[in-house]
Amino acid sequence: MSIQLSIRDLSKRYKTGEGVSGISLDVNKGELITLLGPSGCGKTTVLRSIGGFLEPDSGDILIEGRSVVKLPPEKRPTSMVFQGYNLWPHMTIYDNLAFGLKIRKMPKAEIRSAVEEVLRLVRLPGAEKKYPSQLSGGQQQRIAVARSLLLKPAVLLLDEPFSALDAKLRHEMREELREIQTETGLTMVFVTHDQEEALSLSDRIVVMNHGHIEQIAAPQDIYDAPETLYVAEFIGKMNFLKGGAQGDKLVVGRMEFPNAKHLTGEVVVAVRPEDIILEPGTSQAAGLPGTIKQMMILGHYAEVSIDLGDHGIIRAFQPRDKVKELQLGQSVNATFNKVIAYSNN
């Protein structure tokens, strides 16, 4: 698979101290990769550096094997979709879309054909004569995406494009973007702070923290095997307990697990809520005794909070039918299907 975008040792620091250092990343042709992290982690700095809106302090950016780091945005084979739609309100949708193609001196017949095709792609056929104010927020964002697609960029950059939309519309737009990406084979770099968005959209996720990369992996690998404590805390819901490591064993209370990382001494043990098994009563065989503090029904499953005493409070996802056997204040025994351990440094 050929590399479409290569970022090499990119650094950009602001006077505030924020920014990024030593960012290296290869994006394959046709891949949708997401830069994920909280505000101020550097993901937008990386995106804007790719697009030419920021000049890096050092490093290089190559698109299709050619360095673009000295080129202005309009000379780069990139196109960016921003949070705001940036549509001209006095122009029809057709004119908004055709504007960039007219600048490129494309023949009128080709422009019309291209506009019709891209409107079909974003599921807004026949919207040419409307004005932006006549469209909903979701429809305007579709037009913003369509405008970028028309430029046929080598890399499409998306800066939290769905953040202004409501939850249902965001979900729909994610699905549509994935369909467009599959149909066009475009290489996309997507920025978000929404982990659900990243997990549902991406071929790979780049988790960022304070200007550096914590982990790059496929969504399932990021979720199942977070490499650092930061990633474990940031991706999905996770419980953290104190444990110990010695030899080939991890110990949490009366439970033992394989010490795959060969850790020693005190460790932090992470367990997903869905990997916790609750049994009414207390058992001396294994597990941790606790008391049910709270139960919240969340559709087809419930989130149950259990007070484990010295081990603190953990949250477990349980099937809705299973919760019928449980009640507040009840004694339970908690066992874990699997855990991930981290050095307590």
The full set of domain ranges for the chain reads: 3-231, 237-343
Q: How sure is the predictor about 59, in pLDDT bands with cuts at 50, 70 and 90?
A: very high
Q: How sure is the predictor about 101, in pLDDT bands with cuts at 50, 70 and 90?
A: confident
Place of tokens 């700095």: 45
Q: Say how far apart CA 208 and CA 44 lie, in whole Å.
A: 11
**Residues listed for the chain:** 345
Q: CB count, 10 Å around CB of 200?
A: 14
Q: Say how far apart CA 117 and CA 331 lie, in whole Å.
A: 62
Q: Say how far apart CA 183 and CA 191 lie, in whole Å.
A: 21
Architecture of domain 237-343: Beta Barrel (2.40)
Q: Say how far apart CA 258 and CA 246 lie, in whole Å.
A: 10
Beta bridge partners of 159: 191
What is the model's pLDDT at position 283?
63
Are 41 and 208 within 8 A, CB to CB?
A: yes
Query: Tens of pLDDT along 290-330?
Result: 999 999 988 888 999 999 998 999 999 998 888 888 889 99
Q: What does the DSSP assignment read for 273-296?
A: GGGEEEEES--SSSSEEEEEEEEE
Lowest mean pLDDT among 38-47, 144-153, 294-303, 318-327: 318-327
Q: What does the DSSP assignment read for 194-247?
A: -HHHHHHH-SEEEEEETTEEEEEE-HHHHHH--SSHHHHHHSS--EEEEEEEET
What is the model's pLDDT at position 221?
95
What is the model's pLDDT at position 242?
93
Q: Please check the confidence at residue 282 and state whether its pLDDT lies above 80.
A: no
Cα angle 81-83-87, degrees, rounded to a multiple of 5: 65
CATH class of the domain comprising 3-231: alpha beta
Place of tokens 């982690």: 41
What is the model's pLDDT at position 151?
86
DSSP state of 140: H
Tokens at 316, concatenated: 């477990």
Query: Tens of pLDDT along 186-212?
Result: 999 999 999 989 999 999 999 999 999
Fold matches, 3-231 and 237-343: no
- Integer CA distances (angstroms), 272 to 62, 224, 226, 309, 340, in order: 39, 9, 11, 19, 9
